[in-house]
Amino acid sequence: MLEHDDLSRFLDLLGNRNRRRILDLLHQKPCYVTEIADRLILSPKVVIEHLALLERERLIGFNLDERRRKYYYLYQELEVSIAVRVTSVERPVAPPLGRTALMAHRLRQLRQLLETRDGVLANLDAIDREIEQKLTDLIKCSEGVIETETDVDLLLALSLGAPTVEALLELTGLPVHELNSRLAYLQGMGVVRAEGSQYRLCGADAK
């Protein structure tokens, strides 16, 4: 049985919806960071932060593949059982809905869900169009710098902060030699600078 402090820590850990979603996904199958981010529609940086917390509590573990990417899996099953004592209070019971009223109620619920879905899809279409426009703008203003889609992926990963080579390998999925080659190229173009073991976009701190 968990002590009070341990229980509080676990409840805090599982109180986050995205961490519960990550555990549920890893319960189905092991995944890379990029797989988790794509499936749950989260940024890789957020996913890595949640994975670090779950790994610290030994709920998940990882293996390294041939590209030295971390392949996360559920380290141990976690079952939480909470007993709550409730003093029963007699409340008036509403009469059951008739079939016609029940059908109308279910139809209203279904219509609301369909309207919600249509709104979400419309927003996703708008976001996709904006992403395409921003990507076009980026390529135009980076003419002579960005050579491949790999460069775009790498620059996006660098825009998250000042990651290490290990983090960049995990975020981009590139082989080590290709990552080092592209980093050297971008440094030579004056786009990226090294700060110890980390890399940063030049001008990223500019207001």
pLDDT, one tens digit per residue, over 118-169 is 888 878 778 878 888 887 888 788 888 888 888 888 888 888 777 888 888 8
Rounded to whole angstroms, what are the CA distances from 29 to 32, 71, 178? 10, 10, 28
- Report the chain's mean pLDDT, rounded to a whole number: 81
pLDDT in tens, 82-131: 566 666 666 666 667 677 888 888 888 888 888 888 888 878 778 878 88
pTM score, two decimals? 0.45
The pLDDT tens digits for 42-86 are: 888 889 988 988 888 888 889 888 878 888 998 766 665 556 666
**Fold designation for 149-201:** Arc Repressor Mutant, subunit A (1.10.10)
Q: Does domain 10-74 have CATH number 1.10.10.10?
A: yes
Average pLDDT over residues 12-23: 85
Please list, in sequence order, all residues whose beta carbon lies within 8 angstroms of the beta carbon of residue 9, skipping any fewer than 6 positions away: 57
Checking if the pLDDT of 191 tops 80, the result is yes
Residue whose tokens read 């059982």: 81
